[in-house]
Amino acid sequence: MKKSVVENSIRAFFIVLFTTALLFFLVANGLFQKKNRAGNEITVSENVLFQLNDEKAKRVNLEEYSFAIPEVGDTITLTKVLPNVKVVQPVMLLNVYHSAVEVYLNDDKIYRYGQELYKQGKMLGHEYFRIPINENYAGKELKIKLTITEKESYTSIEPISIINAEDSYLNTLSENFLALMASLTLITIGFVGLIASLSQKKYDRDTRTLTWISWFAIGMSLWMLCNDGVIYLIVPDFQIASILEYYGVYVTVIPVSLFFANIQTNRYYRWVFLGFASFMSIAVTLLTIVHLSGGVHYIFWVPYIQIVMILLIAFIIFTLFMSFRQNEPKQKVLAYGMFFMGFVILFELVRFNMYKYFKDFFAFNISLVPIGMLIFVFSMIYSYCIKILERYYDEAEQELLEKLAYMDMLTNTYNRNKCERIMEEMEAKKESGYLINFDLNGLKFVNDNFGHDQGDILLKNFSKILRNTFQGRGVVGRMGGDEFLGVIYGKEEEKVIGTLMDLDRNIAMWNQSHAEEKISVSYGYAFYAGEKHEKIRESYKKADENMYEFKKEIKQREGIPSR
């Protein structure tokens, strides 16, 4: 199969895979949402009394209302009389950021979280509360008090839902179905890739590339699960989930940098990417120490990390543009994926900040990150597959060239050049072993009387028996004409004797069933000890002398012409 055909097949496979996955996500998402609409649900959004600290309360619509960034320690109070709508086994879904929470029904406190952690200087992150409430809530006043615990926390509050406890899980899944499926796809790719890379015997550049892809896929899937609140279905601890969310963003800069450093041919570009990876490794370590010690929390560094991400994306796009100009197919697809991912991240940064500061003017709150991440990871995997394909072709070509250079095509054994090289390597490494010289008796007689074609058949038949006998024991090659060389490494003479006895037995079995094509061979061996001043040519010469002594015996015993 031609290389271009395989490349096109891989490209088509990824297009079909991504299209099928996208259609599945959309169809399944529609079915999920259709199923969830059947349940009763109360949405607390319109005519909510909003009060910041001691300011005068105002009635707002939470879906549209945004406010100035509050200071640490500020309190936001939300008050709403709940309607007379019956929900069985009700729970309240509350999605807030960096706040201690108190919930009241008619001034009876039903939930409290985060006050002690705030006093201890610990970070309260993105919390997605699922708070059980009494079924006789109708007509009662719901009051939610939020105490801001971090700077630059948020400027709007998501609508509050009261829904059946079982349906609440379906609600979380249906609202974030695309992100969930993208996350599960990425985390599956990540773990499979990690297992595959760690199981490799040789941890070379291509294996490292697969490791970075896998690490990035797991990190991004983790961030999406946390960002959309799905992580709380698995990890109920808000502290751990918040740390995982920031790690998902901060740490994944490292494998992306290492991935592009690993595929670079330009050493200057490689050093820049390694610089990004080193900087983020040190930064994440220091930020973690500071965070866990009760100092500055992860959220403080978000703007600075965003700047690093933008610089990294810009440099990636630049390097891909340079390789794009060189018409490298694997880099082209990676460039397309990175261009799209860069657009998605920049759009996400703009969308996030616009929605945060201008919610009443900017209502678009749908993240394109799941689609962007899938496309980018697929482009990374595609680039990796093409690279592996190229390595496969290079190795196959090298193997073919080596076969042409070192193989005797008639007998399918090593040729004289390879035999000479084997002996040179043994001498250079001082590696001990036995050299065995073989001489095929009667080849000249067959050539002269029956033709060279019949002589070639004799050579092929003998070499086949010789290869099969030496398989797993040593190597054999044709030195030229009717002369062959065998090498058995090590100091065990019993192994050599056993091999030669098996050879005699195999030749005898052949001769019994091929009376017209009988084989007779002479051999002699000598030991090369690999000592410092010992010459392997001397051992080869000794083996040759021993072979000729044996040849004389064969000639007298069997009456077969010696040449």
Going by C-alpha positions, the residue among 164, 168, 165 that lies closest to residue 176 is 168
Q: What is the pLDDT of residue 464?
A: 93
Separation between Cα atoms, residue 189 and residue 187, nearest integer Å: 5
* Amino acid letter, residue 311: L
The per-residue pLDDT for 361 is: 47
What is residue 25's predicted lDDT score, i.e. its pLDDT? Answer: 53
Nearest 5°: CA angle at 9, between 265 and 380?
40
DSSP per residue over 260-287, as a string? HHHH-SSHHHHHHHHHHHHHHHHHHHHH
Strand partners, 128: 95
Q: Provide the 10 A C-beta neighbour count for residue 34.
A: 10
What confidence score (pLDDT) does residue 163 get? 87
pLDDT tens track, the chain, 563 positions:
444 544 554 455 455 555 555 555 555 555 444 444 444 788 888 899 999 998 888 999 888 888 887 888 899 999 999 888 888 888 888 888 888 999 999 989 999 998 888 888 888 877 888 888 888 888 889 999 999 988 877 777 888 888 888 777 777 777 777 677 777 777 887 888 788 778 777 777 777 877 887 888 888 888 777 776 677 667 777 777 777 777 777 888 888 888 888 878 788 989 999 999 999 999 888 888 887 777 777 777 877 887 888 888 888 878 877 766 655 555 566 666 666 766 776 676 676 666 555 554 445 555 666 667 667 777 777 777 777 777 777 777 777 777 777 888 888 899 998 899 999 999 888 899 999 999 998 888 888 888 888 889 999 999 999 999 999 899 999 998 889 999 999 989 999 999 999 999 999 999 988 877 888 899 999 999 888 778 889 999 999 999 998 888 777 766 555 44
Can you tell me the distance from the alpha carbon of 368 to that of 366, in angstroms, rounded to the nearest whole number?
7
Task: Decide if 126 contacts 326 (C-beta within 8 A).
Answer: no
Reported as type and span, the H/E element at residue 198 is helix 177-198
Give pLDDT, residue 18: 56
